[in-house]
Chains A and B, each alone.
Chain A
Amino acid sequence: MQEYIIKRVLFTFLTLFGVATILFFIFRIMPGDPTAQVISPALDPVAQAALKKAYGLDKPLIVQYVLYLKNLVIFDWGRSFTSSQQVFGILTYRFWNTIFLMGAAMCFVLVMGTGLGMVMAWRRGGPMDSGGTVLALIFQSAPPFVTGLLLLIVLSYRLDLFPTGGMHTPGVSIGSGLGMFFSGDFLHHLVLPTITVALYYLATPMLIMRDSMLEVMGSDFIELAKAKGLAPHRVMIKHAARNALLAVVTVSSLMIGFAIGGQVLVESVFSWPGMGQLMVEAASSHDYPVAQATFLVLAALVIFLNLIADISYCYLDPRIKIGKSKG
Chain B
Amino acid sequence: MNQTEAKIRNLFTVVTILIAASLVLAPASVLARAGKPGAVVDSREITTATATFDPVRPEAARVIATAFQSIGWDVKANPIDYNQNVQKVIMEHDYDMWLVMLSGASLRIDPNVFTYKKHFSGEYKKGGWNWEGLSDMSIDELVVAQQKEMDVEKRKQIVYEAQQRIKQSQSMSVLAYVQMTNAYRSDRIKSVVPMMGEGIGSFWTDINMEVVKGDGYVRTGATSPLKNLNPVAAKDHLEFMELRMIYDRLFRINPDGEAEPWAAKSFKVIDPTTIDLTLRQGMKFHDGEEVTAEDVKFTFDYHTKWKAPFFVESLKNVASVETTGKYSVRIKLNEPYAPFIPNLLGAIFIIPQHIWKDIPEKAGVTDPLNFANEKPVGSGPFKFDYWDRGRELKVTAFKEHFSEPKSEGIIRVVYGSHDAMAAAIEKGECDRTRYILKPSLLMDLRKVKNVVAEGYPNHGFYTLSYHTQRPPLDDPAFRQAIDHVIPRELIIEAILSSFGEPGGSIIAPANKFWHNPAVKASPEDINKAKQILKDAGYWWDKQGRLHYPK
- A residues bordering B, Cβ < 8 Å? 31-33, 36-51, 53-54, 79, 82-86, 90, 93-94, 97, 152, 156-157, 160, 163-171, 267-273, 277-278, 281, 284-286
Listed by A's residue number, 21 A-B pairs whose Cβ atoms lie within 8 Å are: A31-B84, A31-B87, A32-B86, A33-B87, A36-B83, A36-B87, A36-B91, A41-B85, A45-B127, A48-B309, A51-B369, A54-B369, A79-B370, A84-B230, A85-B372, A156-B423, A157-B426, A164-B420, A165-B420, A272-B416, A281-B225
In the complex, residue of chain A having the shortest beta-carbon distance to the beta carbon of B221: A170
Whole-angstrom distance between the Cβ of A104 and the nearest chain B Cβ: 18
Please state if B389 and A85 are interface contacts (CB–CB under 8 Å): yes
A to B contact number (C-beta, < 8 Å): 171
* CA of A273 to CA of B235, assembled, Å: 22
Give the contact stretch, choosing among B138-146, B177-185, B200-208, B407-415.
B407-415
Interface residues of B in 342-374 (CB under 8 A from A): 365, 367, 369-374
A167 touches B391 (CB 8 A): yes
Contact count band on B: 35 or more
Report, nearest first, the 7 A-B pairs whose CB atoms are least far apart: A273-B390, A32-B83, A50-B307, A268-B416, A271-B416, A54-B369, A47-B309
B370 touches A93 (CB 8 A): no
Tell me if B7 is interfacial: C-beta within 8 Å of chain A. no
Main secondary structure of the interface of B (DSSP, over half): loop
B424 within 8 A of A: yes
Q: Interface centre among A273, A281, A285, by most B CB within 10 Å? A: A273
Per-residue A-contact encoding for B65-81, CB less than 8 Å = 1, 0 else: 00000000000000001
B370 touches A46 (CB 8 A): no
Shortest B244–chain A CB gap in Å is 14
Knowing that A33-B91, A41-B89, A79-B370 touch, tell me 5 more A-B residue pairs with CB under 8 angstroms. Answer: A44-B312, A47-B310, A48-B309, A51-B309, A82-B228
Closest to B425 in A: A164
- Docked complex Cα distance between A79 and B89 (Å): 29
Q: Which residue of A lies closest to B366 (CB)?
A: A54
- What is the minimal beta-carbon distance from B114 to any residue of chain A, in angstroms? 11
Check B87–A163 contact: CB distance below 8 A: no
Q: Are B83 and A38 in contact (CB under 8 A)?
A: no
Q: Does B272 contact A (CB under 8 A)?
A: no
Interface membership of chain B positions 428-442, coded 1 if the CB is closer than 8 angstroms to chain A and 0 otherwise: 011000000000000
In the complex the two chains form, what is the Cα distance from A287 to B46 in whole Å? 28
CB distance from A289 to the nearest CB of B (A): 11
Asked if B506 CB lies within 8 Å of chain A CBs, one says no
Interface string of B43-61 (1 = CB under 8 A from A): 0000000000000000000
Verify if B95 is at the interface (C-beta below 8 Å from A).
no
Which chain B residues lie closer than 8 Å to A36 at the CB level? 83, 86-87, 90-91
B217 proximal to A (CB < 8 A):
yes
Chain A residue nearest in CB terms to B103: A40
> What A residues does B394 contact at CB under 8 A?
171
Tell me the B390-426 residues at the A interface (CB within 8 Å): 390-392, 394, 411, 413-417, 420, 423-424, 426
B83-119 vs A: 1/0 string, CB under 8 Å?
Answer: 1111101110000000010000100000000000100
Residues of B within 8 A of A38 (CB): 235-236, 309-310
> Do B423 and A152 touch across chains, with their CB atoms under 8 A apart?
yes
Complex contacts, B131 vs chain A, CB 8 Å? 42
Please, which residue of chain A has its CB at the minimum distance from the CB of B373? A84
Does B313 lie at the interface of the complex (its beta carbon under 8 Å from any beta carbon of A)?
A: yes
Q: A43-B90, A170-B411 are in contact. Are A164 and B389 (CB under 8 A)?
A: no
> Closest CB-CB distance, B398 to chain A, in whole Å?
18
- Picked from B105, B129, B390, the residue with its CB within 8 Å of the CB of A42 is B129
Among B83, B219, B312, B411, which residue has its beta carbon within 8 angstroms of that of A33? B83
B411 contacts across to A, CB distance below 8 A? 170-171
Decide if B416 touches A267 in the complex (CB within 8 Å): yes
Q: Which one, A33, A45, A170, A286, contacts B413 given CB within 8 A?
A: A170
- Minimum C-beta distance from B450 to chain A (A): 16
User: Does residue B255 face the partner (Cβ distance < 8 Å to A)?
Assistant: no
In the complex, chain B residues whose CB is within 8 Å of the CB of A83: 227-228, 372, 389
A84 touches B370 (CB 8 A): yes
Question: Are A43's CB and B81's CB within 8 A?
Answer: no
Smallest CB-CB separation from B220: which chain A residue?
Answer: A170
What residues on B are CB-neighbors of A165 within 8 Å?
415-416, 420, 423-424
What chain A residues lie within 8 Å of B429 (beta carbons)?
A: 163-164, 169-170
Q: Is B148 an interface residue (CB 8 A)?
A: no
Beyond A47-B307, A272-B416, A273-B390, whether A39 also contacts B235 by CB under 8 A is yes
User: What residues on B are CB-neighbors of A97 within 8 Å?
Assistant: 390
- A235 CB to closest chain B CB (Å) equals 48
